[in-house]
Chains A and B, each alone.
Chain A
Amino acid sequence: MKDVFTFWGCGKGPLKYLHAHIRILSGILLVGSCLLIPLKSVIGIVFISVAATCWCILAAMPGKMLIRCAIVSLILFFPFLLLTPWMTIGSSTMISMTDRIAQAGTIALRSICCLFIAASTIAVLAIQDVHRGLAYIPIPRTFVVLIVQLIHQTMLLTEETLRIIQVLRLRGASGVRGIRVLFSFPIVWMVRMLFRAERTAAAMTVRGYGIEAIMTDKSIQLTIADVLTIIGVSAFFVASVLMRLRIIA
């Protein structure tokens, strides 16, 4: 669970030196491309695999984190492959096993690529960059405020949960004798979260938290690397849209 904190900004690759909003925007466009690109042809599969691999290499996530991502993707998406024998495509159930494997495989591949791209983007983004990065992306301020608070409060709740877990460990909540304590965990957790939410709401009220929270200096100068990255990723996104619309093969 501590990985939630260490994951942000753990990447050491060249992507880390781009402006925060370019990193976020590129990550979003790449995930969007992976969702759009049709995987019925080999070219689609190659496209999506190369894009995800390149993004991971450029992020240079530590090996330990890569392994953890692989484990998570295995846990999340392996069940798709297990369900292959019962898979239907459209209204037809009379399809060959190869088609079924291909269908399950493309779902798994698409999901794994999205997961790795998202993880790599987070790995090259320190948590303190999120707010400023999002502020420069032309999206509604209310949305940015919500996203920033969502991330910030999730981190706070994770921290609080970690503290409760430490207390449970310290007070011997393990083994058979610990089961009783473990049952009380959800109650303790929920009450603490509610109190924290109440206190945070009070602090927001006193500090007048609102959409003014999104501050931009306007005086940001993009580097050549920023421009090249956004052009490359945008081109990939456009290509995937065209492929989805069958304008190009």
Chain B
Amino acid sequence: MNPVIEFKSVNIRYPGNSENTISDASFHVHPDERVALFGLNGSGKTTLLLAAVGLVPFTGSISIDGMPVEKKNFQKTRERTGFLFNIPEDQILFPHVLDDVAYGLIRKGTFPKAAHKKAMSVLAALGVSDIAECSPFQLSHGQRQRIALAGALVTDPSVLLLDEPSSALDPRGKLSLADLLCAIASSILIATHDVDFASRTCNRFLVLCENGLREFHNCRDAERYLLGSISAESHSEIPH
């Protein structure tokens, strides 16, 4: 089975920095797989996600849905990707919730009525259909996060890249989001610090640290590794 997300020897260095933020990162995500990406603050989790949609320059190769992430393919790869930024307000671009969620579909040529209907169903699945006619400025941070997520989910993308999707959610919201993500047929890469949410949602776990990327099949092992209680040698490197 071909991977849907594939990173091969990816290096990322921000202008002005003497060292790479990401060095030689290689991993893949298969269809219907949900992978959590752990890492300490500043380890480069968000950078890795941004690179996957071509927002950060990198060396090496990244492919989304079999398509290399490069300038000529940016539009196509982005159309297949649902992206949730870690600050949800940044990606809400309309002063009306339903219009914002429906935008992804309208852009693809869906008629407004059908787009709004689908947007309503996604909002309902996230438990926020009652705020569909509101302005984002009337809403809490958690509600905004769900709206941003709804905007990412509405197009049924083959790839979902989520940056801290549970950071502003209450316990009930986290549970329902985890169930929802488990039910959808997208390959998901989640950058998170929320171990409980990740263990409920994901079936593979990556830890991004100074030694590079490490792969785990158990969330608690990944957490322990991150905390430094398990030596790096006892775990397998991800095959390139």
Q: Which residues of A contact B (CB under 8 A)?
A: 5, 8, 126-132, 148-149, 151-152, 155-156, 159, 196, 199-200, 202-210, 212-213, 215-217
Contact between chains at A215 and B112 (CB < 8 Å):
yes
Tell whether B179 is near chain A: CB-to-CB under 8 Å: no
Q: Which B residues touch A131, using CB under 8 A? A: 94-96, 99
Contact between chains at B151 and A207 (CB < 8 Å):
yes
Contact between chains at B135 and A128 (CB < 8 Å):
yes
Sample of 17 more A-B contacts, CB < 8 Å, known A127-B135, A206-B91, A209-B103: A126-B135, A127-B137, A128-B96, A128-B97, A128-B134, A131-B99, A151-B95, A152-B94, A155-B95, A200-B90, A208-B75, A208-B78, A210-B107, A212-B107, A213-B93, A213-B106, A215-B115
Of all chain A residues, the one with the shortest Cβ separation from B102 is: A215
Q: Which B residues touch A203, using CB under 8 A? A: 85, 90-91, 93
Contact between chains at A128 and B53 (CB < 8 Å):
no
Give chain B interface residues in 219-239, CB to chain A under 8 Å: none
Contact between chains at A215 and B99 (CB < 8 Å):
yes
Q: Which A residues touch B99, using CB under 8 A? A: 128, 131-132, 215
State A81–B102 Cα separation when bound (angstroms). 51
Contact between chains at A216 and B112 (CB < 8 Å):
yes
State A231–B115 Cα separation when bound (angstroms). 34
Tell whether B50 is near chain A: CB-to-CB under 8 Å: yes
Tell whether B104 is near chain A: CB-to-CB under 8 Å: yes
Q: Which B residues touch A128, using CB under 8 A? A: 95-97, 99, 133-135
Contact between chains at B93 and A199 (CB < 8 Å):
no
State A149–B94 Cα separation when bound (angstroms). 8
Min Cβ gap A217→B in Å is 5
Q: Which residues of B contact A (CB under 8 A)?
A: 50, 53, 55, 75, 78-79, 81, 83, 85, 87, 89-91, 93-97, 99, 102-104, 106-107, 112-113, 115, 133-135, 137, 151
Min Cβ gap A51→B in Å is 28
Q: Which B residues touch A208, using CB under 8 A? A: 75, 78-79, 107
Min Cβ gap A123→B in Å is 15
Q: Which 5 A-B pairs give the minimum distances between C-beta atoms?
A: A203-B91, A128-B96, A199-B90, A128-B135, A215-B112
Min Cβ gap B65→A in Å is 15
Q: Which A residues touch B78, using CB under 8 A? A: 205-206, 208
Min Cβ gap B73→A in Å is 14
- The contact of A209 among B87, B93, B102, by CB within 8 Å, is B93
CB-defined A-B contacts under 8 Å, sample of 30: A8-B135, A128-B135, A130-B95, A131-B94, A131-B96, A131-B99, A132-B99, A148-B94, A159-B89, A159-B137, A196-B90, A199-B85, A199-B87, A199-B90, A200-B90, A200-B93, A202-B90, A204-B93, A206-B55, A206-B83, A207-B83, A207-B91, A207-B107, A207-B151, A208-B78, A212-B107, A213-B103, A213-B107, A215-B99, A216-B112
Min Cβ gap B168→A in Å is 15
Q: Which B residues touch A156, using CB under 8 A? A: 89
Min Cβ gap A203→B in Å is 4
Which residue among B53, B91, B106 has the maximum number of chain A CB atoms within 10 Å of its CB?
Answer: B91
State A15–B50 Cα separation when bound (angstroms). 46
- The contact of B55 among A132, A148, A202, A209, by CB within 8 Å, is A202
Contact between chains at B107 and A132 (CB < 8 Å):
no
Which residue among A207, A208, A209 has the maximum number of chain B CB atoms within 10 Å of its CB?
Answer: A207
Q: Which A residues touch B91, using CB under 8 A? A: 200, 203, 206-207
Q: Which A residues touch B89, using CB under 8 A? A: 156, 159
Of all chain B residues, the one with the shortest Cβ separation from A217 is: B112
- The contact of B93 among A5, A152, A159, A215, by CB within 8 Å, is A152
State A217–B102 Cα separation when bound (angstroms). 13
Q: Which A residues touch B90, using CB under 8 A? A: 196, 199-200, 202-203
State A205–B74 Cα separation when bound (angstroms). 10
Min Cβ gap A125→B in Å is 11
Of all chain B residues, the one with the shortest Cβ separation from A9 is: B135
Q: Which A residues touch B85, using CB under 8 A? A: 199, 202-203
Of all chain A residues, the one with the shortest Cβ separation from B86 is: A199
Of all chain B residues, the one with the shortest Cβ separation from A8 is: B135
Min Cβ gap A114→B in Å is 24
Min Cβ gap A205→B in Å is 7
Q: Which B residues touch A217, using CB under 8 A? A: 112-113
Q: Which A residues touch B75, using CB under 8 A? A: 208
